[in-house]
Amino acid sequence: MPNDTPHLLNSIDTVLAAWSEKHGLPRFRTQQVRNWLFKKRAAGWDDMTDLPKALRHEVAGEMQLWSTEISRHTQSDDGTEKLLLSLADGGQIECVLLRGKARRTICVSTQVGCAMGCVFCASGLDGVERNLTTGEIVEQMLRLQLLLHDDERLSHLVVMGMGEPLANLDALMPALEEANSPDGLNIGARRITISTVGLPLSIDRLARANATYRLAISLHAPNDALRNQLVPVNDRIGLAAIIQSADEYFNVSGRRITFEYVLLAELNDQPQHARELAQLLAGREALINVIPYNPVAGLPYRTPDMQSQVRFRRILEDAGLQVRFRHLKGDRINAACGQLRRSQAGSSRAGNGLGITQI
C-alpha cells in the first residue's frame, strides 16, 4: 500500500516543526529526533527511547522515516559494504561504505540510472528513470552510517554513485546541507566531493550558491573528438566550456579541482593522450585522478596493462602535474555504482566487478 505520510528525511526541520506544532510539543523534542537520526544512529522510532512511548507510537503513523528497503547488502574482505536499495516506486539505487585506514567514506547516488551515456559506465546503460528526492539521498547516508561499528565515524562523503549529481542539484543541495551541518552528519565541506561529467551551467550555479564542496570533473579525454566518443554528452558542451567553469569554481572556492580520467586500453591511454592532457591542464592547481577501467561485462573496453599505466603517469608527473591513481576497492562485490543493480536485474551485461575506488 502506498504510504502517503510525509517522508521525514525529505525536509527534516519542516516535517518535525509541523509535527511538534500539531502535538504542542516542547522544542527539544524535534532536536531529540534529529539527534537520534544523525548522532545516535537510530534504526527506527522504537530506538528513540527518550521519546514517550505513546508519542513514538503515534509518530510512526504520521511520518515515514525510511522510504526504501534494503534489497541486498554485500560486503568485501577489505571492509567495503554496499547496499542495493529498492525505492517506493520499485526503482533501485546503490550506495557504498568504504573503509580506509583513517577514513570512512560513503558514496551516494543521485538518480535512478543516468542520462549522460558514458560508453564505459554501467549506470547509464539503460538511461535515466528519474531524479532522487532529497529524502532518498539523505536516507542512503543514514543507512550507510548504520553499518558502522560503534567506534567508527563517517569522515568523507563522495557523490559518485549512480546518476549525474549536477542534473539533480535542487534535491542534492539540501541533502548535502544535512551531511555538512553540525546538527546533521557534521562532515566538513572539504570532505564532501561532488563528481560531475561537467555541466558548465550547473558548475556556475554551484559556484554561486555554495562553493565550499570539492568538485571532481570526469574528463576521460584530452580533446573534444575523443571525449565526444567516450562521453557523448560532450558533443553539446565541449572541453573549453568545462575548463572555464572549473577555473571559475576554483577562483571562487579556492579549492583545487580534481579531474577524473578513466584509463581505457588503447583508447585514451597512449603517450600522446597524456601529453595532450598535461597541456590542457597546464598551469592549473589541479589533481588528476586516474582510474584504471573496471571491466563491465558485455562492454568491449579493457583495463590498460601496468606498463601503460606507469607510462601514462610518468608523462603527467614529468609535466609537473599532481597525479593520483586510485586503488581498487570492493571489486568482488560489484561495488561500483550501477553494477550491483544490473547483476540483480539478471542483465546479460551484469557486472563481474567494476570495483569502486578509494578516494
The residue annotated as part of the active site, out of 58, 69, 94, 95, is 94
Residue with the three cell numbers 580506509: 100
337 is catalytic: yes
Nearer to ligand SAH, 131 or 195 (CB): 195
Nearest to 189 by CA among 219, 209, 163, 217: 209
Nearer to ligand SAH, 288 or 321 (CB): 288
Nearest to 186 by CA among 211, 149, 153, 146: 153
CB of 328 to ligand SAH, least distance (A): 9
Nearer to ligand SAH, 30 or 303 (CB): 303
Q: 122 near 351, Cβ under 8 Å? A: yes
CB of 104 to ligand SAH, least distance (A): 19
The residue annotated as part of the active site, out of 114, 118, 121, 337, is 337
Nearer to ligand SAH, 65 or 337 (CB): 337
CA distance 37 to 52: 17
Q: Pairing between strand 104-107 and 156-159? A: parallel
* Site of interaction with ligand SAH (CB under 6 A): 116, 118, 120-121, 160, 164, 195-197, 218, 260, 262, 291, 293-294, 296, 354
CB of 167 to ligand SAH, least distance (A): 8
CA distance 326 to 279: 22
If you write DSSP's letter for every residue of 252-263 in order, what string do you get? HH-PPEEEEEEE
CB of 345 to ligand SAH, least distance (A): 17
CB of 17 to ligand SAH, least distance (A): 34
Q: 116 near 233, Cβ under 8 Å? A: yes
Nearer to ligand SAH, 59 or 262 (CB): 262
Q: 112 near 91, Cβ under 8 Å? A: yes
Instruction: Classify each residue of 85-120 as buried b or exposed e, where b means 16 or more C-beta atoms within 10 Å of its C-beta.
Output: bebeeebbbbbbbbbbeeebbbbbbbbbbbebbbbb
Catalytically active residues, by annotation: 94, 337
